[in-house]
Amino acid sequence: MQFRKAVIQDVDGIWEIEQSVFSSPWSRKQLAHELVANPIASHWVLDDGSSIIGFIMSHVVQSEVQIINIAIKLSHQCRGYGKRVLSEFLSQFNEKMYLFLEVRESNQPAYYLYSHFGFEQVDIRKKYYYDGEDAIVMAKMGNKIPTLLNLEKKRMSH
């Protein structure tokens, strides 16, 4: 299992997952554009050697990282792959980077996954999605893993 930068050859694997897990998936053309032509794109895949198990897409501008999308193949969900993808993705950033994302209010799996890695709710965007659902904006500074965050909180409270 390898976590690596996404390349244009991954477009079909990403697209397949995208279509099966999102109600309003990106088109294959949009994904292909992201993979080859967007200068601020930083997209990654989890590859088991024969297929794409999951992916994370982001845009990076100076010290800001917007996570656009994370998804794990339906057949592989709830087995720790989401945590692995987010953990490997976050490990590349230092503590000065500001990371943020939007998540559907109803998307508990994603909300809990992000919370697990120290993301906190910072805002709500009303009726953000095409079907009228609100988006929760979540953010965190840097790449600190939960254990370190907890240790720091404990240290600060003494």
Active site residues: 102, 114
Which residue's C-beta sits nearest to ligand COA? 82
Residue 79 in contact with ligand COA, rule: CB under 6 A: yes
Nearer to ligand COA, 65 or 70 (CB): 70
We find the least distance from the C-beta atom of residue 158 to ligand COA, in angstroms, to be 27
Residue 31 in contact with ligand COA, rule: CB under 6 A: no
Q: Of the candidates 7, 8, 19, 80, which one interacts with ligand COA according to CB under 6 A?
A: 80
Nearer to ligand COA, 65 or 72 (CB): 72
HEC sequence for the chain: CEEEECCHHHHHHHHHHHHHHCCCCCCHHHHHHHHHHCCCEEEEEEECCCCEEEEEEEEEECCEEEEEEEEECHHHCCCCHHHHHHHHHHCCCCCCCEEEEEEECCCHHHHHHHHHCCCEEEEEECCCCCCCCCEEEEEEECCCCHHHHHHHHHHHHC
Contact mark string toward ligand COA, 3..22, x via CB under 6 A: ------------------x-
